[in-house]
Every structure is written in structure tokens, then in C-alpha cells.
């Protein structure tokens, strides 16, 4: 599974080591709280939530709807 970074700050205002618009590979996904374990830009595997990440397929669907496709 792949996710795309939406923001480089989480809901608490903390800067995360991710690049907005960059696609990351998911190592583990927990459905119950929409969290993903990914390797960040510093090479460290950490958990991130849907405040900074979105599944790539969902992001594509939103973009296509915006374009009217």
C-alpha cells in the first residue's frame, strides 16, 4: 500500500519528517485508528495518522472528481 503526505505538520502543530506531495510505502496499517507505519525522510520508521497521510488511491479519486473525470 502507498500513502501520500498531505502536510508536514500534525494536528498538534509538530513538524513531522515528511515531504508534502511525496509518496511513501506503508510497512503496517492499523484500520481502527487510520495509522500507518512508514519510513520518514530521516530513514526512521514511525507511526503517522490521517492528519498528515492519505491512501494514494483515495487521493487520486478526490483529484479526479475535482477535475470532473
Q: Tens place of pLDDT for every residue, the chain, 69 residues?
A: 999 999 999 888 989 999 999 999 999 988 878 899 999 999 999 999 989 999 999 999 999 999 988
The pLDDT score that the predictor gives to residue 34 is: 84
Fold of 2-67: SH3 type barrels. (2.30.30)
Overall pTM > 0.85: yes
Identify the pLDDT of residue 69. 83
Q: Residue ranges per domain, the chain? A: 2-67
Question: E-assigned strands of 31-65?
Answer: 35-39, 45-49, 53-55
Contact 30, 40 (CB under 8 A): no
- Is the CB of residue 25 less than 8 Å from the CB of residue 35? no
Please give the order of strands across the beta sheet that includes 35-39.
45-49, 35-39, 23-30, 2-5, 53-55
Amino acid at each position: 500500500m502507498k500513502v501520500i503526505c498531505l502536510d508536514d505538520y500534525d494536528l498538534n502543530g509538530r513538524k513531522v519528517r515528511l515531504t508534502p506531495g511525496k509518496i511513501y510505502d506503508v510497512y503496517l496499517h492499523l484500520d481502527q485508528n487510520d495509522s500507518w507505519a512508514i519510513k520518514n525522510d530521516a530513514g526512521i520508521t514511525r507511526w503517522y495518522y490521517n492528519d498528515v497521510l492519505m491512501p494514494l488511491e483515495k487521493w487520486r479519486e478526490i483529484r479526479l472528481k475535482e477535475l470532473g473525470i
